[in-house]
Chain A
Amino acid sequence: MEKRVRFRSRWLPYLLVAPQIAVTLLFFIWPAGQALWQSLLMQDAFGTNVQFVGLENFRDLFRDPLYLHSLQVTLLFSALVAVLGLGIALVLAVMADRVRIGAGLYKTLLIWPYAVAPALAGVLWLFMFNPDIGIVAYALQHGFGYHWDHLLNGGQALLLIVFAAVWKQVSYNFLFFLAGLQSIPKSLLEAAAIDGAGPVRRFFGITLPLLSPTLFFLLVVNMVYAFFDTFAIVDAATQGGPSQATETLVYKVFEDGFRGLDLGGSAAQSVVLMALVIALTVLQFKYVERRVQY
Chain B
Amino acid sequence: MKLRRLFLLLALPLAAQAQAVTDIQFWHSMTGALGDRVSNLAERFNKSQKDYRVVPVFKGNYDESMAAMIAATRAGNAPDIIQVFEVGTATMMAATDDGSGKKKSVVKPVYEVMAMGGEKFDPKSYVPAVSSYYTDSKGRMLSLPFNSSTPVFYYNKDAFKKAGLDPNKAPKTWDEVGIDAAKLKASGAACAFTTGWQSWVQLENFSAWHNVPFATRGNGFDGMDAKLVFNGPLQVKQIAMLADWHKKGWFTYGGRKNEPEAKFFSGECAMLTSSSAAYGNIAQNAKFAFVVSPLPYRAEVKGAPQNTIIGGASLWVMAGKKPAEYKGIAKFFTFLSRPEIQAEWHQQTGYLPITKAAYELTKKQGFYKTHPGTDVSVLQMTEKTPTANSRGIRLGNFVQIRDVIDEELEAVWSGKKTAKQALDDAVARGNELLRRFQMANR
Contact = CB atoms under 8 A, between A and B. Distances in A.
Partners in one complex: yes
B407 A241 contact: yes
A242 B410 contact: yes
Interface string B396-430: 01011001000110110110100000000000010
Interface string A237-271: 00001111000000000001011111011000000
Interface stretch (A40-48, A160-168, A274-282): A40-48
Contacts of A187: none
A46 B414 contact: no
Contacts of B439: 42
B407 A44 contact: no
Given A259-B400, A262-B436, A44 B411 contact: no
A44 B94 contact: yes
Given A45-B70, A243-B411, A244-B407, A259 B63 contact: yes
A126 to B, nearest CB: 13
Contacts of B46: none
Contacts of B440: 42-44, 49, 51, 262, 264
A197 interface: no
Interface string A24-65: 000000000000000000111111110100000000100000
A258 B73 contact: no
A46 B413 contact: no
Given A244-B407, A259-B67, A260-B399, A48 B436 contact: no
Interface stretch (B98-106, B110-118, B358-366): B98-106
B410 A48 contact: no
Interface string A125-168: 00000000000000000000000000111000000000000000
A52 to B, nearest CB: 13
A40 B6 CA distance: 64
B47 interface: no
A199 to B, nearest CB: 47
A166 to B, nearest CB: 26
Contacts of B106: 46, 48
> Interface residues of B: mostly helix, strand, loop or mixed?
helix
A151 B413 CA distance: 11
B407 A243 contact: yes
- Of A42, A44, A45, A261, the most chain B CB neighbours within 10 A belong to A45
B59 to A, nearest CB: 14
A152 B253 contact: yes
Interface residues of B, number: 32
B85 to A, nearest CB: 12
Contact of B414 (A42, A44, A152, A259): A152
B223 to A, nearest CB: 17
Residue of A46, A47, A241, A260 with most partner-chain B CB within 10 A: A46
Nearest to B74: A47
A260 B408 CA distance: 18
A152 B251 CA distance: 14
Contacts of A241: 407, 410
Interface in B342-381: none
Given A152-B410, A259-B63, A45 B95 contact: yes
Nearest to B413: A152
A260 B407 contact: no
A48 B399 contact: no
Contact of A49 (B67, B74, B103, B410): B103
B399 A259 contact: yes
A155 B411 CA distance: 13
Contacts of A152: 253, 410, 413-414
B441 to A, nearest CB: 5
Given A243-B410, A260-B399, A261-B91, A46 B70 contact: yes
Nearest to A57: B436
Nearest to A154: B414
Contacts of A45: 70, 91, 94-95
A46 B74 CA distance: 6
B123 interface: no
Interface string A60-77: 100000100000000000
A260 B439 CA distance: 15
Contacts of B63: 258-259
A48 B91 contact: no
B280 interface: no
B255 interface: yes
**Which 8 A/B pairs are nearest by Cβ-Cβ distance?**
A243-B407, A260-B400, A258-B67, A48-B104, A152-B414, A44-B440, A46-B106, A44-B441
Interface of A: 42-49, 51, 60, 66, 151-153, 241-244, 256, 258-262, 264-265
24 contacts: A43-B440, A44-B91, A44-B94, A44-B95, A45-B70, A45-B95, A46-B106, A48-B95, A48-B104, A48-B106, A49-B441, A49-B442, A51-B440, A66-B429, A152-B253, A152-B413, A242-B407, A242-B410, A243-B416, A259-B67, A260-B397, A261-B399, A262-B397, A265-B436
